[in-house]
Amino acid sequence: MLLKKLELSGFKSFARKTEFEFATRTTAIVGPNGSGKSNIAESIRFVLGEQSMKSLRSKRGEDLIWNGTPGTPKLNRADVAITFDNTKRLLNVDYDEVEIRRTIYRDSASQYLINGSPVRLKDVFELLSGIHIGASSHHIISQGQADHILSASIKERRGMVEDALGLKVYQYKRLESERKLAKTRENIGQVEALRKEIAPHLKFLQKQMEKVEQAEKLREELKMLYREYLAREEMYLEHHNKRLQEKRGEPQQELHDLEKRIKNNEIKLQELTKGRGAHADLEVLDTTLRKLREEKDTHSRRIGRLEGMLSYAKKEQGGKKIGDTVSFNRNAVDAFIQKLESAVETALALNEVDGLKEALRSLRTSISHFWQKEVKGKEELQDYKTLEKELKTTEEAFKELSSEEAKIQEERARKARTLEEERGDERKFEHELFALRSRRSELLTRLELLRVDEEKLRGEAASLKETLREVGLWLGRDAISFDKTAYAFTPDEPRAKQEERKWKIERIKIKIEDIGGGDDIKKEYEEVASREEYLSRELLDLEKSADALAGLIEELSKKIDAEFKDGIQKINKEFQRLFVLMFGGGTAALKIVAPPPKKKKRLLDELESADVQSEEIPGDEVEEEEGVEITINLPSKKIRGLQALSGGERSLTSIALIFAITNVNPPPFLLLDETDAALDESNSRKFGNMIHELSEKTQFIIITHNRETMTRAGVLYGITSGSEGVSRVLSVKLEEAVGIAQ
């Protein structure tokens, strides 16, 4: 059993959530008129995608929604869900159970869900086509529509039969292929129009490309010239750079050595200059001598004074003072004069100023001593012994000072000699340092001249680098890829020769610029040519696609026709058997007939309802598809046409045909809404027997008042309607249903 469950909520009279489980091969739904039984059949039509409000006995979408009563308020939506068992994967989804749900709102908007996921109506149709459930609803026979297959046109009847035979999926594919073919032919026309549109411009661009090709040849020649020019320029720079480096090497090394020698001489000279501390030592010694001599002068004067005082003490007034005249002791005067002469002789014997100064200071000391002794000393006479002792002490101190003076004078003389020698070495280093510095200036001048040449070479190298960059950008990397060994380089080649090469390059560049727009034209030509090539390929692909679609349409048409004809034969076999069972004899058959030729215009109503745009299939006078006609011949009556049948006969004929179609290609379920209403007891039994037979192949849901039919059901659902018009459900099992039916 494929159909498992039906759930209604807010749909028409089913205001409350109601569930129907289909656990048996045959389920019967019974109830009084007006209880809402037929709403169940319409709910199944609704959830399977029915778009016709007329088929749902409504005018607007909101008519399908519970409209409310005083006791049960109206709802804003109606919801129907149907559940299928998919363990055999008859439906093309990977679920064991598939639920299709449709919700409609008061603004008539519908929402479709498959297992809870929102989908399009088209998706629902494609899913159901796998189990032969289509829009014609051959599997749902509503109340009063049992003989619709009899009253339908031959074209409508063919559609019902094709739908029942499961050919709808092929028809969808064929109609989709026809739509694609029409679109493809439209695209072919557009592509051809585009090719015609760009053809003149492409021809113009081809002429322009001839000039561009000429420019390309010049560019190739330019590349060759550039390669030679750049290679020679690079070799020139390498050669002269190497030569300058060689020229720089010797003076640089010499300068490096000179710098070391200059630094060493400067250090030595600095050390000698620091050695001039000997001169500072001389100044210290001179200062010491000066202080010693001053101290000696003091002692000398003291000695003279003491000697005078002692001499005076010995001779007891050796002279007299008369007025301004002073008398002196002769011996004292002689001694004084002798000292003076000795001091003068000593001074005259000296050749240096310092010695002369020292002699003069000694002379001055002697005079001072004489004066103090002979003139002043008489006033300062002391005790003789005391004076003698003091004189001895003073003379000893004088001798010590004289000894120290001699040592210092000797040290000074030695220092003076050393200083004179050092000054000689310093002058020698100064002369050598001057010579070294002069040579350094010469070398720096030579190196500066070399630096100027190097700077010039660097400028030329920078110019070469910029030229390489520009040429690489303009002519490509291959223009600056050259082999220097391919060109013989002469170091002494005049630069004018290289300038000639450069001038030749500039002339070719001017020619290329005069042609102008090469890149733009080439780009545009390539774009247009590429567009033409693409359109050509596209046209070829479209033509192949059109041929393939035409072949597919033909193949599908043949398949539909073959399976349709084969299906008709099988249906006729069952139709005849069931017709005889119903009427006790006679003949009944479906006959394929062709309508007269007329303008072909098919409106794809089914695809429109499935969100697929309807299109006209182009063509003039062509034949429509063949239709299906029903021929019958009742036993013991001369009735051959459907129009002459009574209501009961039409009902039996339609039931026989429906069951014949069902038997050939059983749908997953068959819903019959009071199809047996016009049958008498005998025919009801026959009807029940056929249901029992067919229930082995398909699942039956039967809305009925017929007791015989009720006895064939495994589960019986009873529908009642309360005072407010709300449909309610009561389920009864088979054994209970038999009792109710009896």
Residue owning tokens 């995608």: 49
| pLDDT tens digits along 538-589 | 889 989 999 999 999 999 889 988 988 999 999 999 999 988 988 888 889 9
Q: What is the pTM of this model?
A: 0.52
The segment with the largest mean pLDDT, out of 51-65, 312-326, 509-523, is 51-65
Taking residue 418's Cβ as centre, other Cβ atoms within 10 Å add up to: 15
pLDDT at 280: 64
Q: Which residue has the tokens 């040849």?
A: 217
Residue 483, phi then psi, degrees to nearest 5: -110, 110
DSSP secondary structure string for all residues of 491-548? TT--HHHHHHHHHHHHHHHHHHHHH--HHHHHHHHHHHHHHHHHHHHHHHHHHHHHHH
- Per-residue confidence (pLDDT) for residue 66, from 0 to 100: 92
Secondary structure, 3-state, 303-365: HHHHHHHHHHHHHCCCCCEECCEECCCHHHHHHHHHHHHHHHHHHHHCCCHHHHHHHHHHHHH
pLDDT tens-digit profile of 606-638? 444 445 444 444 444 445 668 899 988 888 777
- Residue range 206-221: average pLDDT? 79
What pLDDT is recorded for position 112?
Answer: 96
CA distance 128 to 49: 10
Residue 21 amino acid letter: E
Report the sign of the C-alpha dihedral through residues 686, 692, 696, 697, in that order.
Answer: positive
DSSP one-letter code for 630: E
Say what the pLDDT of residue 134 is: 60
Residue 319 has pLDDT above 60, yes or no: no
Query: Mean pLDDT over residues 54-82, rounded?
Result: 90
- Whole-angstrom Cα distance, residue 155 to residue 667? 21
Per residue in 485-520, pLDDT (tens digit) is: 777 777 778 888 888 888 888 888 887 777 766 667
Q: CB neighbours (10 Å) of residue 212?
A: 20
Q: So what's the pLDDT on residue 136?
A: 55
User: What is the structure's pLDDT at 603?
Assistant: 41
Closest CA to 625 of 144, 115, 162, 50: 162
- Nearest CA among 138, 135, 139, 120 for reference residue 172: 135
E strand or H helix at 588: strand 587-593
Nearest to 309, CA basis, from 329, 323, 295: 329
The confidence score (pLDDT) of residue 99 equals 95
Q: What is the pLDDT of residue 600?
A: 43
Task: Name which of 429, 441, 434 is nearest 255 in CA terms.
Answer: 441
Q: Rounded to whole angstroms, how far apart are CA atoms 599 and 362?
A: 165
Q: Which of 109-118, 202-211, 335-344 has the lowest mean pLDDT?
A: 335-344
Average pLDDT for residues 39-64, to the nearest whole number? 89
Mean of all residue pLDDT scores within the chain = 80
Round to whole Å and give the CA distance between 226 and 476: 12
103 and 77 in contact (C-beta within 8 Å)? yes
Compute CA distances 685 → 546, 652, 663, 703, 716, whole Å: 56, 12, 19, 16, 18
Taking alpha carbons only, the member of 582, 576, 593, 583 closest to residue 664 is: 576
